[in-house]
């Protein structure tokens, strides 16, 4: 029975999920592709590298954006977008002018500063908090190790350093809680190719619990989060999204969940581990590698993946010259050679390194190299990921655009149509990204 006090929104309600704390469940049936929930960002920050190509206010991608007359670093669609964003941008504008090139707070720090400002100007519940308020966010404070606490203190120091005006700071203990809440409940906004656009807080979306067998997917329309069903959902069924990349085997996924969110998953996929064998496929040799050799190679692969994860924005962290990117590509190729002696190309660790190599090729505009990696990736992706995966749609989209650039229109059209078929379910048929891709097809 539903509690009379349970907050509701359309066909959804907040409820107490057994063993998981708060959760979200359906009050009616939802079909595949149906929109369950739209949530405007409570606060959002555009990543610095996308300034000039996306509006700092609404995240729209367009040419001819207008520059902030003072800091010259923020760009807007028009005066309306600039005015709407000013209560948040003013936190950074003067500081940008003061620090110049030395203005470099992390997105987490920027997001937290905006939360503090928003809580002061809008102490009442906002349109983003119909089901869950920011102040209700779980912090998992008691589970933070010394390293995570030290990172939070570094963020607090940066907050004080870069935001000297317009902010009323709570005490250090309250800031620790707030940063821990942001770390556990923040969202990364990505474009249609899964390139990083920024970070945001979507309180109502954060109410959903995790499953490695999700029944919904979260996509973004500017700074609006949309949640759509990726399989049939019945009344009374809990709504689950995925907090992590689902490519990897069970142990890896749960290591990631424990490190970032402080829990292990008990979904059907994690209980049965039925996909792990395919995801960890070993070379079919007359003299197969020993169990110890396989174990050592998995350990090696995990270490390499962790190194890349820590440097996931390598093209901005590294000096933007050709040399470090070439070196990074060499690291990918060497890792692939080493792992290829034990793993099949469809092994997820091989796919990870191919994806990194493809990214480098795209960045240095080696279209043929990128296409070669993408062609090896797409079929195993389609097998390992769930239906309507954004990762699969993104790969088809990249392949389609590469084929078009290399004048193979037939293959390009086929790949782009495959991307659209997935995106129409995940993003909705009226999403601007889909309109853009359809226009690409018409133009070619």
* Antiparallel, parallel or unpaired: β 240-241 and 209-210: parallel
**Average pLDDT estimate for 239-246:** 98
pLDDT-based confidence at residue 7 (cuts at 50, 70, 90): low
Distances (CA, A) of 287 to 290, 296, 301: 9, 17, 22
**How many Cα neighbours within 13 Å face the side chain of 158?**
20
Residue 49 has pLDDT above 90, yes or no: yes
State CA 31 to chain mean position distance: 24
**Average pLDDT estimate for 353-374:** 94
Round to the nearest angstrom and report the end-to-end CA distance of the chain.
Answer: 56
Q: What does pTM read for this prediction? A: 0.93
> Is the pLDDT higher at 1 or at 217?
217
Residue 3 has pLDDT above 60, yes or no: no
Q: What is the pLDDT of residues 55-99, one digit of tens each?
A: 999 999 999 999 999 999 999 999 999 999 999 999 999 999 999
Residue 318 has pLDDT above 50, yes or no: no
pLDDT mean across residues, the chain:
93
pLDDT at 5: 53
**Average pLDDT estimate for 243-272:** 97
pLDDT at 285: 86
Residue 314 has pLDDT above 50, yes or no: no
**Average pLDDT estimate for 335-353:** 96
Q: What is the pLDDT of residues 193-226, one digit of tens each?
A: 999 999 999 999 999 999 999 999 999 999 999 9
* Type and span of the H or E element at 150: helix 146-162
Residue 2 has pLDDT above 60, yes or no: no
pLDDT at 328: 81
User: Which parts of 205-256 are beta strand (E)?
Assistant: 209-210, 216-221, 224-229, 240-241
Assign 305 to helix, strand or coil.
helix
Lowest-confidence region among 82-86, 140-144, 327-331: 327-331
> Is the pLDDT higher at 132 or at 2?
132
**Average pLDDT estimate for 254-281:** 96
Q: Exposed e or buried b for every residue in 56-84, given b needs 16+ CB within 10 A?
A: bbbbebeeebeebeebebbbbbeeebbee
pLDDT at 444: 77
Residue 311 has pLDDT above 60, yes or no: no
pLDDT at 166: 78
Kindly tell me the sign of the dihedral angle through the C-alpha atoms of 279, 282, 283, 286. Answer: negative
Residue 154 has pLDDT above 60, yes or no: yes
Per cent of the chain over pLDDT 90 is: 86
All structural domains of the chain = 1-41+202-243 (2.170.270.10), 244-278 (no CATH), 281-377 (1.25.40.10), 385-443 (1.25.40)
CA–CA distance, 167 with 114 (Å, rounded to integer): 9
**How many Cα neighbours within 13 Å face the side chain of 287?**
2
pLDDT at 309: 67
Q: What is the pLDDT of residues 387-402, one digit of tens each?
A: 999 999 999 999 999 9
CA–CA distance, 307 with 316 (Å, rounded to integer): 16
CA–CA distance, 372 with 354 (Å, rounded to integer): 10
pLDDT at 320: 42
pLDDT at 214: 98
Residue 407 has pLDDT above 80, yes or no: yes
* Type and span of the H or E element at 187: strand 186-190
Residue 305 has pLDDT above 50, yes or no: yes
Q: What is the pLDDT of residues 227-236, one digit of tens each?
A: 999 999 999 9
Residue 430 has pLDDT above 50, yes or no: yes
**Average pLDDT estimate for 104-132:** 95
> Is the pLDDT higher at 288 or at 377?
377
């Amino acid at each position: 029975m539903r509690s009379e006090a349970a907050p509701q929104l359309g066909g959804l309600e907040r409820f107490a999920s057994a063993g998981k704390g708060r959760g979200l469940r359906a009050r009616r049936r939802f079909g595949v592709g149906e929109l369950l929930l739209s949530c405007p960002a409570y606060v959002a920050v555009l990543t610095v590298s996308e300034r000039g190509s996306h509006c700092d206010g609404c995240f729209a991608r367009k040419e001819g954006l207008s520059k902030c007359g003072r800091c010259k670093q923020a760009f807007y669609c028009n005066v309306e977008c600039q005015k709407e964003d000013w209560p948040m941008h003013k936190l950074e504008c003067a500081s940008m002018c003061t620090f110049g090139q030395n203005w470099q707070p992390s997105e987490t720090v920027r997001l937290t500063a905006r939360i503090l400002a928003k809580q002061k100007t809008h102490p009442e519940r906002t349109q983003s908090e119909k089901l869950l308020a920011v102040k209700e966010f779980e912090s998992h404070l008691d589970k933070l190790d010394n390293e995570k606490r030290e990172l939070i203190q570094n963020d607090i120091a940066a907050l004080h350093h870069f935001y000297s005006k317009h902010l009323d700071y709570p005490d250090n203990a309250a800031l620790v809680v707030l940063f821990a809440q942001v770390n556990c409940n923040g969202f990364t906004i990505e474009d249609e190719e899964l390139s990083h656009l920024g970070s945001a807080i979507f309180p109502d979306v954060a109410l959903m619990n995790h499953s490695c067998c999700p029944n919904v997917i979260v996509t973004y329309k500017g700074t609006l989060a949309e949640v759509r069903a990726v399989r049939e959902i019945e009344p009374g069924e809990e709504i689950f999204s995925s907090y992590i990349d689902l490519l990897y085997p069970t142990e890896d996924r749960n290591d990631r969940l424990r490190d970032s969110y402080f829990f292990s998953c008990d979904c059907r996929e994690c209980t049965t581990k039925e996909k792990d064998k395919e995801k960890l496929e070993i070379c079919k040799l007359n003299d197969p590698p020993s169990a110890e050799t396989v174990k050592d190679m998995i350990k090696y692969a995990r270490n390499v993946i962790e190194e890349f994860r820590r440097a996931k924005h390598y093209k901005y962290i590294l000096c933007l010259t050709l040399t470090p990117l070439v070196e990074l590509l060499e690291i990918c190729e060497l890792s692939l050679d080493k792992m290829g002696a034990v793993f099949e190309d469809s092994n997820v660790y091989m796919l990870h390194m191919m994806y990194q190599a493809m990214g480098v090729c795209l960045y240095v505009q080696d279209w043929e190299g990128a296409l070669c990696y993408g062609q090896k990736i797409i079929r195993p992706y389609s097998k390992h990921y769930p239906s309507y995966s954004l990762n699969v749609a993104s790969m088809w989209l990249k392949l389609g655009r590469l084929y078009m650039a290399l004048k193979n229109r037939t293959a390009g059209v086929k790949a782009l149509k495959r991307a659209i078929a997935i995106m129409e379910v995940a993003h909705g048929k009226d999403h601007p990204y889909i309109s853009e891709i359809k226009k690409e097809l018409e133009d070619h």
